[in-house]
Each structure stands twice: as structure tokens, then as C-alpha cells.
Amino acid sequence: MAKILIVDDSETHLYSLQKIVEGGGHEVITASSGEEGVEQAKAHVPDVILMDIVMPGLNGFQATRRIAKEESTANIPIIFVTTKDQETDRIWGMRQGAAAYITKPVDKKELLKAINSALGG
């Protein structure tokens, strides 16, 4: 069982992602902002982070860069889970070092496959 941090400012998306991840047999930690996501990553050092992009304050790209700069969290795989579905967004996300880029609405099988791949499975 892996520890997965889900960062999303939408309660609805947090809930649905949590159900999918828990259904895949993983433990879930949640954060409702980019700032909180960075803090939770430092506090819990999860195995994988699911990161929304469009959030008030610190967006997902900025939070990802902060997590990557911290020595304790630099090696955590980050999967972007977002409504931003343009090719330029996907390219920029992958340039930030993302392990995968998934668009909402999320396909359960695709998400679990991306998590397992990020975990090295």
C-alpha cells in the first residue's frame, strides 16, 4: 500500500480521486491548495502526488517546482490531474518533471495505471 497525496482545490474532485485511489488499495492524504500540498509533501513524504494545476494562490506548476527543489521531497513522482487539456499544457507539465499528465474527468483505470507506473510497477 502506497501513500498518495492528492492536491486539489475542489472538494468534489478531492473526494472522487480519494475514492479511486483508496479503491486501488492506497492510503490517501489530501491538501486543498498548492501551499498546503507543499507542506503535506514535506510532512508526510508520500510515495506519489496527484497535483491539480488550476488553484488559487500557488498553482500546481509552482507547487511542483517547490516540491522538486526540496531535498526531502525532490524524488517524489508527481502526476498532474487537471482540466487543462491543451497540448501546450501537457508539454509544460511534463517539462516540470511530471511522471504523467491526466485530464479530468479522470478515467479510473488510467489513473491507477499511472500511479502504479510512478511507483515502479
pLDDT at residue 18, as a whole number: 98
Cα 2–Cα 30–Cα 82 angle in degrees, nearest 5: 95
- Distances in Å between the Cα of 77 and the Cα atoms of 21, 45, 56, 57, 81 are 15, 11, 23, 22, 13
- Termini Cα distance of the chain: 12
pLDDT at residue 116, as a whole number: 97
pLDDT at residue 36, as a whole number: 98
For residue 114, give its domain range. Answer: 3-118
pLDDT at residue 5, as a whole number: 98
**At 45, which CATH number?**
3.40.50.2300
Average pLDDT along the chain: 96
0.85 surpassed by pTM = yes
- pLDDT tens, residue by residue, 32-90: 999 999 999 999 999 999 999 999 999 999 999 999 999 999 999 999 999 999 999 99
Q: How many structural domains compose the chain?
A: 1
